Structure 1
Amino acid sequence: MILDSIEQLQNYTAFLPAIEKVVAYMKTIDPKKLPAEKVYIDGENVFVIPSVAKGKGADEAMLEAHNVYADLQVCLGSGETFGWKDRNMCIKPTGEYSSESDIIFFEDQPTTYVSVASNEFVLFMPWDAHAPLIYDGEIVKLIFKIKVG
């Protein structure tokens, strides 16, 4: 997991070159006007899902993980908190991995929590189980899916 300011996003392209496409896309949009639906930036390799959701309590948020895509989540609202746990330490899946949705959920409890403020991003790789949407209020963000698997 990586947490940093949007201004630093460009510095992570050596780690994950497709981030360059995210940086270029971010320069073309007004952060106060989310796209209405999923936008394919580089076909199935890089796309973005706009999200406006009501936050929930930490006890309601479930850990999830992905096999194919990294999640790069950009906070555009007031904030959001994520639970985190090393995926290899998760032992209570709620079901099977869905290849159609590229997701598996876990009943395990996070080992740590990280808060993301407006104009910050968090990057979750497939080895990161994360519990999103923890917040007392509305969450506004862009979820970039970057193919890594």
Structure 2
Amino acid sequence: MWTTTQYRRLVQGSAWYDLIVTVAFVTPWSFAALHGILTGMSQALNLPGELPPFEPVHMLMANLLGSIVCVWAVLRIRDPQRIFGRYDAVARFLFSAWQAYALAHGASSLLVIFLVFELAWGIVQALPVRTPSRASSLPHLTGFTPIQREPRH
């Protein structure tokens, strides 16, 4: 179970992960470079599955995905609300489903790395957050000794 502060950091951490992993998807040029790197890695490691060349519409979809995910990431970095973490968990489970579908239909095994991270971030953001009680949000008065007054006669 997360505390509110821990959960906010978790939401920010998942957002930073998204921004770092997805920023290359934002433009056709950066995605083309990333695609070349991933293709080379897949071939060098002789991984099963394919990473086909991208046509203009594929590139458009990759760029739209990158743009939206990066904007969503910046929002969560700047304002890591609990509700954003919950929505992000749902989105990650959806992404995971489509990644598993792609893998089942011959996508490059490199996708497994991303699938593991999507599931991990989704699970940890779906875990409960401890709601602070009103008493625990009050300042702690450790060591406080009330002043004893003498009774008046």
Q: What range describes the TM-score normalised by the shorter chain of this pair?
A: under 0.3
TM-score by length of 1: 0.26
Higher percent of residues as strand: 1
The structure whose residues are more often helix, as a share, is 2
Instruction: Name the larger-Rg structure.
Output: 2
